[in-house]
């Protein structure tokens, strides 16, 4: 269960797992497109983005394991926790649905993470994190550009694509609030100077989204209540099915080397 945070070390670990889990789950979602994308170029682009995110997750899990010092490996974190212990935000676990949903999800996420990593490079007191961030910053710039261009294309494309984009906005926008929510663990990591405060990134995110939406002829929806729960390990019902696949081999063949 998403247990109460006991110590400063626990808090940092937990805060890093939040970002790592975001990468793992979104990377997994992108990898589900493999072989099913709308065109060959997008097979490559989706795989690229998935690889970036999985790579970030790997580095972050390794760092978390080192910080924890209990010998947990990247695979222990990625494959051997309970659903309630994954602390990714809900946005990244939402199903791929169609290309509009997938690209909008990517835009929302990258528009947050690119400045997030950028600020981490500048300000984090943790050298390993700064290293991870420097690479991730560049990667997320590509995600942002690529997904932004697609959102514009689809938003200002055909009648059907515009309707699908609008539907995606309607579905997904209410998951963006969680990007800015600060869990108690995250608060400690911010206070310790390890990670940037999401609040400081809000203006940039707002502006990025507004700019893309303007070009895409999309309307920003009014959201009464932003969804939350992921950071407390309360995931939507797709998550369990995703994990059944993700964890299958590690669960079915425990303790083996692959």
Interaction site with its own copies (CB under 8 A): 82, 240-241, 244-245, 247-248, 251-252, 254
Of 12, 54, 89, 136, the one binding another protein (CB under 8 A) is 54
Residue 135 binds another protein (CB under 8 A): no
CA distances from 225 to 85, 174, 184, 237 (A): 24, 7, 21, 20
Site for another protein in 63-102 (CB under 8 A): 74-75, 78-79, 82-84, 90, 98-99
Of 154, 179, 189, 190, the one binding another protein (CB under 8 A) is 154
Work out what residue 251 binds among another protein, its own copies, none; the CB cut-off runs from 5 to 8 Å by kind.
its own copies
Question: With CB under 8 A as the contact rule, which of the stretches 116-124, 126-134, 177-185, 231-239 interacts with another protein?
Answer: 231-239
Site for another protein in 23-52 (CB under 8 A): 24, 28, 31-32, 34-45, 47-48, 50-51
Residue 181 binds another protein (CB under 8 A): no
Residue 108 binds another protein (CB under 8 A): no
Alpha-carbon radius of gyration of the chain: 18
DSSP code string of 77-134: HHHSS-GGG----HHHHS---SHHHHHHHHHHHHHHHHHHHHHHHHH-S-HHHHHHHH
- Report which secondary-structure segment, H or E, holds 46: helix 40-68
DSSP code string of 192-255: TTSS--GGGGHHHHHHHHHHHHHHHT-PPPP-SS----GGGT---HHHHHHHHHHTHHHHHSTT
Beta carbon of residue 206, minimum distance to another protein (angstroms, whole number): 21
């Amino acid at each position: 269960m998403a247990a109460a945070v006991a110590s400063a070390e626990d808090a940092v670990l937990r805060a890093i797992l939040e970002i790592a889990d975001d990468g793992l789950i979104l990377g997994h979602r992108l990898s589900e497109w493999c072989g099913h994308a709308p065109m060959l170029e997008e097979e490559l682009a989706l795989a690229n983005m998935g690889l970036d995110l999985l790579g970030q997750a790997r580095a972050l899990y390794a760092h978390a394991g080192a910080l924890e010092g209990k010998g947990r490996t990247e695979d222990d974190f990625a494959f051997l926790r309970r659903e309630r212990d994954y602390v990714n935000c809900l946005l990244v676990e939402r199903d791929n649905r169609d290309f509009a949903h997938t690209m909008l999800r990517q835009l929302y996420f990258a528009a947050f993470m690119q400045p997030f990593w950028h600020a981490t490079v500048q300000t984090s007191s943790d050298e390993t994190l700064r290293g991870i961030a420097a690479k991730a910053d560049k990667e997320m710039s590509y995600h942002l550009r690529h997904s932004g261009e697609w959102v514009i294309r689809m938003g200002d494309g055909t009648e059907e694509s515009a309707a699908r984009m609008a539907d995606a906005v309607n579905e997904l926008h209410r998951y963006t609030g969680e990007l800015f929510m600060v869990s108690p663990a995250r608060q400690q990591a911010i206070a310790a100077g390890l990670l940037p405060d999401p609040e400081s990134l809000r203006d940039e995110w707002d502006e990025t989204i507004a700019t893309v939406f303007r070009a895409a002829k999309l309307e920003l929806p009014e959201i009464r209540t932003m969804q939350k729960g992921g950071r407390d390990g309360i995931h939507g019902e797709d998550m369990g099915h995703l994990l059944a696949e993700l964890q299958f081999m590690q669960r079915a063949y425990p303790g083996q080397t692959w």
